[in-house]
C-alpha cells in the first residue's frame, strides 16, 4: 500500500491514543512491526498560540519513522498554519531531528470538550467544513494528508462514505475509518460493512480500525472490509507483540508468543525510555497503566499490581519487575 510516496508493506499502523501512545511506547511498537505510527491528537489552536506542552506532543525520534502528526481543530486557516509549521519542523519546543512523514486530521474524537467546539467527530456533522479543512491543510503542506473518522455521528447518520468522498475530493491521500459511531464511543459492535463501503467508494488507501485485539480479529477485519491496512489501538496496550503476530500470520509464518519474562523486559525498556523522554515523575506515573496492561491476565500479580499503582521512581519499577521475573522463574515447571 502506498500513501503519497510512502510505502507500507502490510499496512499495519498504531493508532493515536491520547495520554497513552507516547514516544516510548511508539518506539516499542515500531520495533515489533508497526509500519506507521502517529502522534497523539494535538490541538491546532494550542500550536497557534505556541503552547509549549502542545508542541511537545509533536516530538518524535528517528526510531519512529514513518511518523504522522495528528491535529484537531475546526478552523481551516489555523489547521493549515499549524500543519505547515509542523511539516516544516518549525516548533522549537519539539526539536525533532526530522520532519513528519504525513499530517493526519482528527475527525473522530468523541469527547464533549472537543465536539462542542465543532472539532473531532463533530466534523462528521459538517461535511462541507471537513472538506474545507482538508483543502486548506493540503495546500499548506507537501507531505500526504490523511483523515481519521468514525462510521458516523450516530446510528441514524452513518455518513462515513459521504465524508470520505468529500475529504478525498479535497485532497486527502488516505482515510482511516473507525467502525463505530460517536454515540457508541468505544462500545461494540464495530461496523465492518461501512468500512467496506468506504473502500469501494474512494480511490485512496482505506485503513480499518476498531476492535482488533487478536490476529484473528485482524484477519477478519481485512477480509470483511477489503481495506488496504489496519490500525491497532487498545489491542496493543501491553501487547505490542501483536504487530509481530499479525505480520507472521500475513506472511503465513509460525509465531511464538513472547514469554512473560520477555514481556516484562519490554515493559522495563519502555519505562526506562519514557523516563529519559519525559522525566521520572511524569513517566513513572503514566507507566503505571502500561505496566498493568503488560501483566494483565498473569496469575499471582495482585501484589505487584498494588505496588505499581503507588510507584514513583524507575528503581521501584525495576524492583517490581525483577521480583516478578524471579517469581516467574521459580514457578516455571
Ligand X SMILES: Cc1cc2nc3c(=O)[nH]c(=O)nc-3n(C[C@H](O)[C@H](O)[C@H](O)COP(=O)(O)O)c2cc1C
Conformational region of residue 185, where left means phi above 0, alpha means psi within -120 to 50, and beta covers everything else: left
- In the set 29, 38, 109, 176, the catalytic residue is 109
CB of 66 or CB of 235, closer to ligand X? 235
Q: Of these, 23, 178, 247, 278, which contacts ligand X (CB under 6 A)?
A: 178
Closest CA to 123 of 141, 132, 187, 58: 132
Q: Of these, 10, 13, 16, 94, which contacts ligand X (CB under 6 A)?
A: 16
CB of 211 or CB of 324, closer to ligand X? 211
Q: Of these, 46, 108, 205, 229, which contacts ligand X (CB under 6 A)?
A: 108
Least distance (Å) from ligand X to the CB of residue 110?
9
Q: Binding pattern to ligand X, positions 19-38, x when CB under 6 A?
A: -x------------------
Q: Of these, 2, 4, 17, 318, which contacts ligand X (CB under 6 A)?
A: 17
Restricted to residues 131-150, the positions that interact with ligand X (CB under 6 A) are 148
β partners of residue 6: 3
Q: Is 73 a residue that touches ligand X (CB under 6 A)?
A: no
Restricted to residues 205-224, the positions that interact with ligand X (CB under 6 A) are 209-212
Q: Is 100 a residue that touches ligand X (CB under 6 A)?
A: no
Q: Of these, 106, 146, 225, 244, which contacts ligand X (CB under 6 A)?
A: 106
CB of 40 or CB of 77, closer to ligand X? 40
* CA atoms 63, 66, 71, 77: torsion sign: positive
Q: Is 29 a catalytic residue?
A: no
Q: Is 240 a residue that touches ligand X (CB under 6 A)?
A: no
Instruction: Find the helix packing angle between 215-225 and 242-251, rounded to 10°.
Output: 60
24-61 core/surface letters (b: 16 or more CB in 10 A; e: else): bbbbbbbebbbbbbbbbbbbbbbbbeeeeebbebbbbb
Q: Is 184 a residue that touches ligand X (CB under 6 A)?
A: no
Count of residues near ligand X by CB under 6 A = 21
Binding site for ligand X (CB under 6 A): 15-18, 20, 40-41, 70, 106, 108-109, 148, 178, 186, 209-212, 233-235
Q: Report, as residue numbers or ranges, the catalytic residues.
A: 109
Amino acid at each position: 500500500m502506498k500513501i503519497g510516496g510512502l510505502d507500507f508493506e502490510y499496512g499495519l499502523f498504531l493508532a493515536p491514543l491520547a495520554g497513552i501512545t507516547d514516544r516510548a511506547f511508539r518506539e516499542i511498537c515500531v520495533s515489533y512491526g508497526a509500519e506507521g505510527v502517529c502522534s497523539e491528537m494535538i490541538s491546532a489552536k494550542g500550536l497557534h498560540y505556541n503552547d509549549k506542552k502542545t508542541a511537545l506532543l509533536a516530538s518524535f525520534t528517528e526510531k519512529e519513522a514513518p511518523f504522522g502528526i495528528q491535529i484537531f481543530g475546526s478552523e481551516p486557516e489555523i489547521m493549515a498554519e499549524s500543519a505547515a509549521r509542523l511539516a516544516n519542523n518549525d516548533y522549537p519546543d519539539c526539536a525533532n531531528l526530522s520532519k513528519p512523514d504525513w499530517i493526519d486530521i482528527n475527525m473522530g474524537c468523541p469527547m464533549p470538550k472537543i465536539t462542542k467546539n465543532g472539532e473531532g467527530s463533530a466534523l462528521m456533522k459538517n461535511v462541507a467544513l471537513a472538506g474545507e479543512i482538508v483543502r486548506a491543510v493540503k495546500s499548506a503542506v507537501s507531505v500526504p494528508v490523511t483523515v481519521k473518522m468514525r462510521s458516523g455521528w450516530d446510528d441514524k447518520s452513518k455518513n462515513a462514505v459521504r465524508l470520505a468522498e468529500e475529504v478525498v475530493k479535497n485532497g486527502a491521500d488516505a482515510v482511516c475509518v473507525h467502525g463505530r459511531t460517536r454515540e457508541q464511543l468505544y462500545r461494540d459492535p464495530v461496523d465492518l460493512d461501512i468500512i467496506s463501503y468506504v473502500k469501494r467508494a474512494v480511490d485512496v488507501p482505506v485503513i480499518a480500525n476498531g476492535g482488533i485485539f487478536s490476529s484473528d480479529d485482524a484477519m477478519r477485519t481485512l477480509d470483511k472490509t477489503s481495506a488496504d491496512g489496519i490500525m491497532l489501538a487498545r489491542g496493543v496496550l501491553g501487547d505490542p507483540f501483536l504487530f509481530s503476530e499479525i505480520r507472521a500470520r500475513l506472511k503465513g509464518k509460525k509465531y511464538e508468543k513472547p514469554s512473560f519474562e520477555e514481556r516484562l523486559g519490554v515493559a522495563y525498556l519502555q519505562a526506562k525510555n519514557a523516563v529519559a523522554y519525559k522525566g521520572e515523575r511524569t513517566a513513572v506515573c503514566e507507566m503505571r497503566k502500561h505496566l498493568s496492561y503488560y501483566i494483565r491476565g498473569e496469575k499471582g500479580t495482585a501484589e505487584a499490581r498494588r505496588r505499581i499503582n503507588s510507584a514513583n521512581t524507575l528503581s521501584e519499577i525495576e524492583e517490581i519487575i525483577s521480583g516478578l521475573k524471579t517469581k516467574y522463574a521459580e514457578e516455571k515447571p
